[in-house]
Structure 1
Amino acid sequence: MREVHEEAFAILNFIMNHNMRLSIFTKFTPLRLLCVADTRFASIIVMLKRLKLIKKGLQAMCSYRLDDTEKANAVKEYILNDDWWDKVTYILSFTGAIYEMIRACDTDKPCLHLVYEMWDSKIEKVKIEIYKKEKRPKSQISCFYNVVHRILIARWAKNNTPLHCLAHSLHPIYYSDAWLMEDSTRCAPHRDEDGIREMWGQ
Structure 2
Amino acid sequence: MVINNEWSSYKEDNVDSAQFVKETLLNDNWWMKVDYILAFTTPIYDVLRKTDTDMATLHLVYEMWDSMIENVKKVIYHHERKTEAEYSSFFEVIKLILIDRWTKSSTSLHCLAHSLNPRYYSHEWLSEDSHRVAPHLDKELTQERKKCFIRYFDDVAVRREVNIAFANFSDGREGFDDADSLNDRGQMDAKSWWIVHGVHAPTLQKIALKLLGQPCSSSCCERNWSTYSFIHSLKRNKMTPKRAEDLVFVHSNLRLLSRNSSHYKEEETKLWDIAGDDFSLDDNGILDIASLSLDEPELEIIFFNEDE
Where on the TM-score scale, by shorter chain, does this alignment land: which range? 0.5 to 0.7
Residue pair 2:59, 2:113 contacting (<8 A) in 1 also: yes
What are structure 1's unaligned runs of at least 5 residues? 1-57
Corresponding residue for residue 72 of structure 1: 18
- Amino acid of the residue matched to residue 123 of structure 2? D
Structure 2 residue 135 is matched with structure 1 residue 194:
no
Which contiguous aligned blocks of 4+ residues in structure 1 show a shift greater than 3 angstroms?
197-201
Corresponding residue for residue 171 of structure 1: 117
- Amino acid of the residue matched to residue 181 of structure 1? S
Residues 199 and 152 from structure 1, CA distance in 2 versus in 1: closer, same or farther, beyond 3 angstroms?
farther
Corresponding residue for residue 185 of structure 1: 131
- Amino acid of the residue matched to residue 66 of structure 2? D
Residue 65 of structure 1 and its aligned partner are, at CA, apart by 3.0
Corresponding residue for residue 118 of structure 1: 64
Q: 2-side partners of 1:89 and 1:198: how far apart? A: 38
Residues 184 and 100 from structure 1, CA distance in 2 versus in 1: closer, same or farther, beyond 3 angstroms?
same
Residue pair 1:161, 1:199 contacting (<8 A) in 2 also: no
Question: How many pairs were matched up?
Answer: 142
Residue 198 of structure 1 and its aligned partner are, at CA, apart by 4.3
Q: 1-side partners of 2:3 and 2:84: how far apart? A: 41
Residue 68 of structure 1 and its aligned partner are, at CA, apart by 1.9
- Amino acid of the residue matched to residue 119 of structure 2? I
Corresponding residue for residue 100 of structure 1: 46
Across the aligned residues of Structure 1 and Structure 2, the Cα RMSD in angstroms comes to 1.5
1:86 is aligned, of 19, 24, 32, to 32
Residues 166 and 144 from structure 1, CA distance in 2 versus in 1: closer, same or farther, beyond 3 angstroms?
same
Residue pair 2:63, 2:114 contacting (<8 A) in 1 also: yes
- Amino acid of the residue matched to residue 68 of structure 1? Y
Corresponding residue for residue 146 of structure 1: 92
3-state SS of 2:133 partner: coil
Q: 1-side partners of 2:142 and 2:5: how far apart? A: 61
TM-score, with length taken from structure 1: 0.66
- Amino acid of the residue matched to residue 141 of structure 2? G
Residue pair 2:115, 2:136 contacting (<8 A) in 1 also: yes
- Over alpha carbons, which structure has the higher Rg? 2
- Amino acid of the residue matched to residue 170 of structure 1? L
What are structure 2's unaligned runs of at least 5 residues? 148-308
1:162 is aligned, of 87, 91, 108, to 108
Corresponding residue for residue 3 of structure 2: 62
| Percent identical residues | 51
